Amino acid sequence: MSKQITVPFGPQHPVLPEPLHLDLVLEDEKVVDVIPTIGYVHRGLEKLVEKREYTEYVFIAERICGICSHIHGQTYVQGIEQIMGLEIPERAQYLRTIWSEYSRMHSHLLWLGLFADSMGFESVFMNSWRLREHILDDLEATTGGRVIQGVCKVGGVRKDISPEKLDEMVKGLRGIEHELQDLTNVFLHDSSIQHRLKGVGVLNKEDAYYYGAVGPTGRGSGLAIDIRETGYAAYGKINFKPVVEHDGDCYARCAVRAKEMFTSIDIIEQCAKKIPDGPVDMKVTGAPDGEFFARAEQPRGEVIHYIKGNGKKNLLRHRVRTPTFTNIPPLVTLLKGCDLADVPVIVLSIDPCIGCAER
């Protein structure tokens, strides 16, 4: 048996944009064991719920993550609305869906760029971020914020989109669709990328289920779990199919994300067609009394917000289980047995967001 050595990886590493620390136990070039450590960016946002009113906390819930910010805020207000038994206007539901899909696209484009960068493909990194700018411009024009949208509130949304702007947005998305196609073609058909990704970091379906993989990590392994299918917000009225790949390697996870962007464009177009007229918010009185588990599908997977209130302005407990947190055990499984050179690609292939995972 050869000698084992331990190589620290992260929290600061040239290709890893997240403060995740991995102790890689190596035998020659093979990784035999991985010990993950988190705890570098803990901010105590869950505790803050006791100090802020439940209506103000939406803004804090949004700041849990810098990428899926809108969906965090949306899940939190969905939980509050369920406890209080509020039936929010249908237009607000559709608007939330549109903005969720926009944030999914911007997250996936960001991830594709970072993923290309981790393989040393820097021009694709810049091209995907250039396309992402189009999405961010639309988000800013409709909500006021590029990354932190701040449009969700208990009982609806804070901003409305005019029908002309909606048309313009759909046309704009259809306009960049062929550019997106060009970009995803690089990821799906380029031989050097296939050589780098195919067969690397294979997670089979049983392991994915057993270790609780969510989102594209699970769907890349053939687990057809997509919380959007439960029909929260306006997803119940939209026709779409979750993208599922069966290989379970880095290429499959990449393909799921690349293809999901086109599903998002479809969903936005359907929403723009079906969106009814009417108010976008309602007056809310009282405070939540009860508890609820709110679930939603983020770009990275399923997020759960547990909310417990006792009829006062401040909530008793707020607990978030983010997709990255659940994807760390599958990541450890993935890394065992791989080469040291493949570690950055495999870690990035689950789209880690440690800021989310630690709150």
Partner 1 sequence: MTFFEMTKTVLKSLFTRPATLMYPAKPAKKTPLSRGHVSIKPEGCITCRSCQRKCPTQAICVEVKEKTWEIDNMRCVVCGVCVDVCPTKCLTMETQYRKVLTARGARDKFTVAGPKKKEPVAAEAAKPVKE
Beta bridge partners of 301: 298
CB nearer to partner 1: pick between 195 and 241: 195
Rounded (5°) CA angle 265-269-270: 120
Question: Which residue among 7, 32, 35, 141 contacts partner 1 (CB under 8 A)?
Answer: 141
Instruction: Give least dist CB 183 to partner 1, A.
Output: 12
Rounded to the nearest angstrom, the gap between the alpha carbon of residue 16 and the centroid of all alpha carbons in its chain is 17
3-state secondary structure of 34: strand
Instruction: Answer left, alpha or beta for residue 94, where phi above 0 means left and psi between -120 and 50 means alpha.
Output: alpha
Query: Using CA of residue 327, residue 296, residue 269, residue 59, what is the dihedral sign?
Result: negative
Instruction: Give least dist CB 207 to partner 1, A.
Output: 38
62 to 81, contacts with partner 1 by CB under 8 A?
63
| Contact flag: residue 59 with partner 1 (CB under 8 A) | yes
Contact predicate 314/347, CB 8 Å: no
Q: How far apart are CA 311 and CA 302, in angstroms?
A: 28
| Contact flag: residue 120 with partner 1 (CB under 8 A) | no
Per-residue contact flags (x/-) with partner 1 for residues 9 to 48, judged by CB under 8 A: ----------------------------------------
Q: How far apart are CA 315 and CA 166, in angstroms?
A: 36
CB nearer to partner 1: pick between 12 and 185: 185
Count of residues interacting with partner 1 (CB under 8 A): 19
**Contacting range for partner 1; rule: CB under 8 A; set: 59-67, 244-252, 264-272, 310-318:** 59-67
CB nearer to partner 1: pick between 129 and 251: 129
Taking CA atoms, 38 is separated from 23, 45, 48, 217, 324, in Å, by 11, 16, 20, 20, 11
**Contacting range for partner 1; rule: CB under 8 A; set: 15-23, 51-59, 200-208, 347-355:** 51-59
Question: Which residue among 15, 25, 147, 148 contacts partner 1 (CB under 8 A)?
Answer: 148
CB nearer to partner 1: pick between 148 and 225: 148
CB nearer to partner 1: pick between 122 and 140: 140
**Contacting range for partner 1; rule: CB under 8 A; set: 7-15, 50-58, 237-245, 298-306:** 50-58
**Contacting range for partner 1; rule: CB under 8 A; set: 141-149, 275-283, 306-314, 338-346:** 141-149
Instruction: Give least dist CB 172 to partner 1, A.
Output: 14
Per-residue contact flags (x/-) with partner 1 for residues 149 to 168, judged by CB under 8 A: -x-------xx---------
Instruction: Give least dist CB 320 to partner 1, A.
Output: 17
Residue written as token pair 């799921």: 256
How buried is residue 34: exposed, middle or buried, by Cβ count under 10 Å (0-12/13-18/19+)? Answer: buried
Query: Using CA of residue 248, residue 253, residue 254, residue 255, what is the dihedral sign?
Result: positive
Question: Which residue among 27, 28, 50, 56 contacts partner 1 (CB under 8 A)?
Answer: 56
Answer whether the bond into residue 11 is a cis peptide, omega within 30°. Answer: yes
Instruction: Give least dist CB 227 to partner 1, A.
Output: 27
Q: How far apart are CA 327 and CA 317, in angstroms?
A: 24
User: Can you read off the two tokens belonging to residue 147?
Assistant: 């990354």
CB nearer to partner 1: pick between 55 and 204: 55
How buried is residue 85: exposed, middle or buried, by Cβ count under 10 Å (0-12/13-18/19+)? Answer: exposed
| Contact flag: residue 145 with partner 1 (CB under 8 A) | yes
Q: Which residues bind partner 1 (CB under 8 A)?
A: 52, 56-57, 59-60, 63, 130, 133, 137, 140-145, 148, 150, 158-159
